[in-house]
Structure 1
Amino acid sequence: MTELVKREDSNGLATLTLNRPDKMNALTVQMFMELHEHVAQLEQQTEQIGAVLLRGAGRCFSAGNDLHDIAAGKPLPMPHLQARTIDRLARLPQPVITAVHSHCYTGALELALAGDLIVASESARFADTHAKWALTPLWGMSQRLPRRVGAARAREMMLLGRSYSGKQAENMGLANFCVADDVFDAELEKLARELLAGSWFSHRANKRLLLETDGLSLDAGLAHEVFRNAGKGPDMQERIAAFGKK
């Protein structure tokens, strides 16, 4: 049986690949079940895995939710499986990079927004088309999109259903980086290695601070940082010593 979400590990990087290339990686219940299992494993592997890369196989990241899957009304193995999986992915201890090439529509955009960093190819196309199908978001669009691009731009995307290129996504802050298609894989590898070169302890601690203080007032956030930070990492002395030898 074909894995609908494949995992490959390489030197501290876990790559999760949406694997329905013949269906443009349209998202199904089974795909989310497999993704949920991978995320649950990654939560327990902070010493072996320092970062996670989410991408799509074949021609695109994902064309979005499989409309045939919606119409079939397949029962979920747990309530709100998709929303829970995306939220769990977003809250992984490790930083998550989402790599988007070509289509990234609606449900796929909700999934992509779980990334701490989003890298787009020039061919990327981002859109929220819920309104086209008389649907409303259930997987986080109304909350994560405005936090990423601002309320005004989120309203534009959600109400008009327009698509945006990789460069437009970078300019509006939806994507952190936009790179040419012919160097997309190489730039992803370079970025992942740059990220992994930093302290995995610090990455986890910084991500936790950002998640825990989201929505707090400045005073409350500052107090949280001072009194609930993780302190020094076990690799601090080693890193300082290595720097002193340069």
Structure 2
Amino acid sequence: MSEALVLRQDNDGLATLTLNRPDKLNSLTVGMFQELRRHVLDLQKDDSIGCVVLRGAGKCFSAGHDLGDIAEGEKVPSPGWHSETLRLMERLPKPVIAAVHGHCYTGALEVALAADFIIASDTARFGDTHAKWALTPIWGMSQRLPRRVGVATAKRLMFTADMIDAQEAFRIGLAEQVVAADRFDEACDALARRILENSPFSHAANKRLLEATDARDMDSGLQWEVLNCEGTGPDMQDRIAAFTRKTKKAKT
């Protein structure tokens, strides 16, 4: 039996999904997307998981869409299927972190952008090379990249096909944090654990709120927030009680 193309490992509420074609620099195929999609659908209904980290095995996150597959003519289940898969991941009711080291080019960048944010190793390199190969994006680059870095910067990256390093990615807002390679795994886990300390109810509600009001004007966004407030979570009383007990104990 062949090894899985996307591995899932669970650890105390954290699910790590690993793109697993290290011998091919995790270049993205239909088969890999099929496995990623299955994991995402499973995670939608798995209440034991409060945070997801998406990363790559071996030397890099992913070198991008497998050009061999493109040249041979991929057979996808339906038009827009890749984009739909990433949208499913983007709309998971729990935080998703893209942990990027090494290459993250074109299709791989589209995958990473579908996470809530990117944490980058100082070895990470990013780029959009659609124009280099006379291709146009259909996995979400034209929509997510300008929302992350601004329209002018997105145009610069898309038109030049330039590669940028982790520090430049941080400067333009593509990556949220840059970490030294020797501390990368530790930093990713620590970040995920800080997220897991907080309410999964709030995480899910906040994701829905941010999604619904993205690009709205301020007044309609504020109105949406009031009218569609999801209230308090089932863990609110327990969290407040735990804090109160801790505060009282600290005073004695």
Do the two structures share a fold, i.e. TM-score over 0.5?
Answer: yes
Deviations 1:96-142 (A, max 9, x none): 00000010000000000011121000010000000110000000001
In the alignment, which residue of structure 1 is the partner of 2:250?
none
Structure 1 CA distance for aligned equivalents of residues 167 and 115 of structure 2: 18
Residue in 2 that maps onto 1:52: 52
Shift of 1:32: 0.5
TM-score by length of 2: 0.96
Q: What's the CA shift for 1:74?
A: 2.6
Q: 1:245 Cα deviation (Å)?
A: 1.5
Q: Which residue of 1 aligns with 2:187?
A: 187
Q: Name the structure 2 match of 1:162.
A: 162
- Aligned pairs for 1:141-220 (under 5 A) are 141-220=141-220
Q: Give the 3-state SS of the residue equivalent to 1:245 in structure 2.
A: helix
C-alpha deviation, 1:216, in angstroms:
1.8
Q: Secondary structure at the match of 1:137?
A: coil
Q: Residue 18 of structure 1 corresponds to which residue in structure 2?
A: 19
Kindly provide the CA deviation profile for residues 159-203 of structure 1, in whole angstroms up to 9, marking residues without a partner as x.
011111111111111000000000000000100000100111101
Runs of 4+ in structure 1 over 4 Å off: none
Determine if the alignment matches structure 1 residue 42 to structure 2 residue 43: yes
Q: Distance in 2 between matches of 1:130 and 1:50?
A: 34
Would you say the 8 A contact 1:25–1:62 is kept in 2?
yes
Q: Give the secondary structure class of the aligned counterpart of 1:146.
A: helix
Q: Deviations over 1:193-228 (max 9, x none)?
A: 001001111011101100111122212111111011
Q: CA RMSD in A?
A: 0.8
* Gap regions ≥5 residues in structure 2: 247-252
TM-score for both structures, normalised by structure 1: 0.98
Q: Distance in 2 between matches of 1:41 and 1:96?
A: 14
Moved more, 160-169 or 72-81: 72-81
* Percentage of matched positions with identical amino acids: 58
AA of the residue aligned to 1:25: N
* Counterpart Cα distance in 2 of 1:167 and 1:61: 17
Cα distance in structure 2, aligned partners of 1:60 and 1:81: 25
Q: Which amino acid aligns with 2:245?
A: K
The one-letter amino acid paired with 2:70 is: I
Q: Which residue of 2 aligns with 1:77?
A: 77
The whole-number CA distance in structure 2 between the counterparts of 1:138 and 1:111 is 12
SS of the equivalent of 2:3 reads coil
Task: Report the Cα distance in structure 2 between the residues aligned to 1:14 and 1:235, rounded to whole angstroms.
Answer: 21
CA distance in 1, matches of 2:117, 2:202: 16
Q: Is the 8 A contact 1:106 1:127 kept in 2?
A: yes
Kindly indicate whether residue 31 of structure 2 is the aligned counterpart of residue 30 of structure 1. Answer: yes
Q: How many residues align?
A: 245
